[in-house]
Amino acid sequence: QVGSTTSRSYIDPHTYEDPNQAVKEFAREIDASYITIEAIIGGGEFGDVCRGKLKVLGSPSVEVDVAIKTLKPGSSDKARNDFLTEASIMGQFEHPNVIFLQGVVTRSNPVMIITEYMENGSLDTFLRANDGKFQVLQLVGMLRGIASGMQYLSEMNYVHRDLAARNVLVNAQLVCKIADFGLSREIESTTEGAYTTRFSNFQGGKIPVRWTAPEAIAFRKFTSASDVWSFGIVVWEVMSYGERPYWNWSNQDVIKSIEKGYRLPAPMDCPETIYQLMLDCWQKERTHRPMFLSIVKTLDKLIRCPDTLRRIAQNSRPPPVNPYYVPVVFKCGSDWVSFHHE
Ligand SMILES: CCCCn1c(-c2ccccc2C)cn2c3c(=O)[nH]c(=O)n(C)c3nc12
C-alpha cells in the first residue's frame, strides 16, 4: 500500500494445508535442552505460562529470561495446531511493541512457545497493583507504544479482535507490547476495499463484548477500525488504572447503552485531550474513527507538548446508576459470551 512501512501482509497460517508447515516457516525450533523452566506465572487456555531461561545459541553459558507457554500433555492434534497457530502468527511480526517470539519446542513434550520475558506482566494487573503511582506522561507513553504496535499490525493487515489491557504485557522499562495472537482469522478484502474478517475458527464464536465495536458484535464485522474501538477501551482502562470497563454491568446492558449513545465517562484526572481521543475511537460509524497512524501522531504531539495534558476533563459524576441494572445473583466470570444470548 501507499506509505506503508511494511512490505508484506501477514499470512494466515490456515492457508497452509499442513499447519506444521506454517510453524516450521515462521518459528525457530528450539531443543528442549536449551530451556529451563523456573516458575509457573500464569495459566492459559492450553496449559501453563511459565518463567524460565533460554541458553543463547553459540554461547551456552549465556542465558536470557523467557516466558513459556506449555501445551498440556495429552492435548488433541487440533488443540496442538490451534496452540501453535499463535507462534506462526507471532513469528511473522517484528516490532518493538509486539512481543518477540524466541521460538517453539515441537519435537518433544510438552510442546512450548517461548517469548521474551516481560518483567511487569499483564498491563491490567500491573496498573491495579500501582494505582495512582504514575505520571500522566508515563501513562500516555504506554498508550503510544500500544498504538504503535497496533499501527504496525494493521499495516500488516492483521486484525487483532481481542485488544484489551489483559492482552498487553509490560517490561521493566514500562514498554508495552501486544501479546495475544491466539484467535486465528482470515482477512478477505470486501467490495468497499475495507478489510473484514471471516471467522475461520473463532472458538465457539465468543467475543469480549465490552471491548468490541458495535458492528463487530452485531454482524461480526471485525476490521482495524473495530480494533481502534478496542484501543479506546484500553485507553480508558489505562487512565483508570485497570478499572473494569462498564464496571459490573451485564454484557447486554453494555450493548443496549452503547446503542443508545452512552459512552464511558472520563476517568478521574484524565486529560481532556485523552478523553476526546477515547470518544473519537468510539464513534458509532467506523469510518469516522481515527486510524492507528493518526492516533500515534496525536499521542506523539501530546507527549512533545505536555502542556496539552494539563487540562483535566471535568470529572463525571460517580458512575451513573445503570438504568437497566437488576441485581444479579451471580455474574458470568468471564468476559467471553457466546453470540447466542447468555
Ligand atoms: C497475555 C499473554 C499471556 C501469556 N504470556 C506470554 C506469551 C504470550 C503469547 C505466546 C507465548 C507466551 C509465553 C508471555 N508472557 C508473560 C511475561 O513475559 N511476563 C509475565 O509476567 N507474564 C504474566 C506473562 N504472561 C505471558
- pLDDT tens digits, residue range 23-46? 999 999 999 999 999 999 999 889
d(CA 14, CA 185): 8
Q: Ligand 1 centre and the CA of 301: distance in Å?
A: 31
Q: Collapse the DSSP code of 298 into the 3-class scheme (helix H, G, I; strand E, B; otherwise coil) and give the result.
A: helix
Decide if 81 contacts 87 (C-beta within 8 A): no
pLDDT-based confidence at residue 19 (cuts at 50, 70, 90): confident
Mutate to test the pocket of ligand 1, among 112, 118, 119, 180 (most ligand atoms within 8 A of CB): 118
Per-residue confidence at 1, pLDDT binned at 50, 70, 90?
Answer: very low
Res 197 pLDDT > 80: no
Any idea what the Cα angle at residue 285 is, between residues 3 and 214, rounded to 5°? 110
**pLDDT number for residue 322:** 73
Task: Tell whether the torsion through CA atoms of 160, 164, 166 and 172 is positive or negative.
Answer: positive
Point out the catalytic residue in the list 12, 48, 82, 162: 162
Of the two residues 186 and 284, the one the predictor is more confident about is 284
Bridge partners of 112? 70, 105
Ligand 1 atom with least separation from CA of 122: 23
Binding pocket residue ranges, ligand 1, CB within 6 Å:
41-42, 44, 49, 67-69, 86, 99, 113, 115, 117-118, 121-122, 167, 169, 179-180
Residue 87 banded pLDDT, cuts 50, 70, 90? very high
Which grid cell sits at 237? Answer: 482502562
Give the CA distances from residue 115 to residues 13, 81, 103, 170, 203, in Å, rounded to whole numbers and listed in that order.
19, 18, 7, 13, 24
| C-alpha span between 215 and 99 (Å, rounded) | 28
Of the listed ranges 123-137, 201-215, 290-304, the least confidently predicted one is 201-215
pLDDT grade for 318, boundaries at 50, 70 and 90: low
Three-state secondary structure of 50-76: EEEEEEECCEEEEEEEEEEEECCCCCC
Residue to mutate (ligand 1; options 97, 115, 171; most atoms within 8 A of CB): 115
> What is the Å distance from ligand 1's center to 41 Cα?
9
* Helix ranges (DSSP H) in the chain: 19-26, 77-90, 123-128, 136-155, 214-219, 224-239, 251-259, 272-281, 292-304
Strand order from edge to edge, sheet including 48-56: 35-43, 48-56, 59-70, 112-116, 101-105
Interface confidence (ipTM) of the complex: 0.99
Contact 186, 12 (CB under 8 A): yes
Q: Please say if 162 is a catalytic residue.
A: yes
* Alpha carbon nearest to ligand 1 atom 15, residue: 67
Scanning the structure block, which residue is given the C-alpha cell 484467535? Answer: 183
Ligand 1 center from residue 179 Cα (angstroms): 7
Pocket test for ligand 1, best of 41, 49, 160 (most atoms within 8 A of CB): 49
Q: Is the dihedral of CA 128, 132, 138, 139 positive or negative?
A: positive
The model's pTM is 0.88
